[in-house]
Amino acid sequence: MIVFFDDGTYFYGEIDEDDDTEISGMELGTYAHNESTGLLSVTQTFDNNGSTGLTDYVGIGAPNIFVAVEGDILTATIDEDGDQLIDETIIFDRR
């Protein structure tokens, strides 16, 4: 579960019962979203879930993540290596 609050903070939580390689836990932080480019920047203030969540997208040299919201769908597109080509797309459905 990921929640982006209007005040620029976010919460991410996950329980991985079926995958022993993933660490269950949560993280809290702040985010900034560039409306014109879609670029999402995050800073973590608490993280106890290892490399799960938005951990990979924090700091200098981190992959770029771009987000767009349409209705109840958030589409995240990821440029892993900075070559301006999208390497992965993840679709989240609001519930």
| pLDDT tens readout for residues 52-94 | 788 777 777 788 999 999 999 999 999 988 888 999 999 999 8
Among 57, 44, 49, which residue's Cα sits nearest to residue 10? Answer: 44
What was the pLDDT predicted at 62? Answer: 82
Q: Categorize the per-residue pLDDT at 24 as very low, low, confident or very high, splitting at 50, 70 and 90.
A: confident
Can you tell me the distance from the alpha carbon of 37 to that of 41, in angstroms, rounded to the nearest whole number?
12
What are the structure tokens assigned to 44, written together? 């973590």
- The HSE-up count of residue 23 (CA atoms within 13 Å, CB side) is 12
Among 10-14, 42-46, 53-57, name the one with the lowest average pLDDT.
53-57
Query: What is the per-residue pLDDT for 55?
Result: 78
